Amino acid sequence: MVSSQIRCALLLTVVAGVCVQLYQAHDILGRCACQHKVKFIKANITDFQVLQRRPACDKTELYVTVSKPDNTTEDICLHMEGKMAKAFLKCWERINRNKTRKTECFDRKRKSDSEKQSRLESQR
């Protein structure tokens, strides 16, 4: 009798633990992380994260982290059909998905923006 009560208590503990893990899981089955997407961001991009296809989502997703003037940051999801997202993904593939080289992708964007600005100023 005591043995069956111990087994039952152990089983309930394991089931409760599994329920807690599922509740706290990052990827909710059947849902992608990006709910609201934008095609273009004109802000200071400080980081990005590529979320590859996974069981919870059948799409590749791209988050960029931007810094605001008040020194806070915000994560924004880019629409994958936009030029900006395509450029980030192309760069991500070019650097062979090396996380230590990610800054090359958004530093390159800054460099091209400053070159455009200098060309506009020289035309004036």
pTM as predicted? 0.58
- The whole-number pLDDT of residue 27 equals 46
Q: Could you tell me if residue 16 is inside a domain?
A: no
Please report the beta strands in 1-124, taking only residues with DSSP state E, as ranges in sequence order. Answer: 37-38, 44-51, 61-67, 73-78
Q: Could you tell me if residue 84 is inside a domain?
A: yes
Distance between CA atoms of 61 and 26, rounded to whole angstroms? 15
Stronger pLDDT, 60 or 113, i.e. the higher one = 60
Stronger pLDDT, 111 or 9, i.e. the higher one = 9
Domain range spanning residue 46?
37-123
Distance between CA atoms of 38 and 14, rounded to whole angstroms? 42
Distance between CA atoms of 63 and 35, rounded to whole angstroms? 11
CATH number for 41: 2.40.50
Stronger pLDDT, 15 or 19, i.e. the higher one = 15
Average pLDDT, the chain: 78
Instruction: Give the pLDDT confidence of 18-39 residue by residue, as tens digits.
Output: 555 655 555 445 578 888 899 8
If we measure between CA atoms, which residue out of 19, 39, 44, 45 comes closest to residue 102?
A: 45
Dihedral of alpha carbons 43, 47, 53, 56, sign: negative
Q: Could you tell me if residue 71 is inside a domain?
A: yes
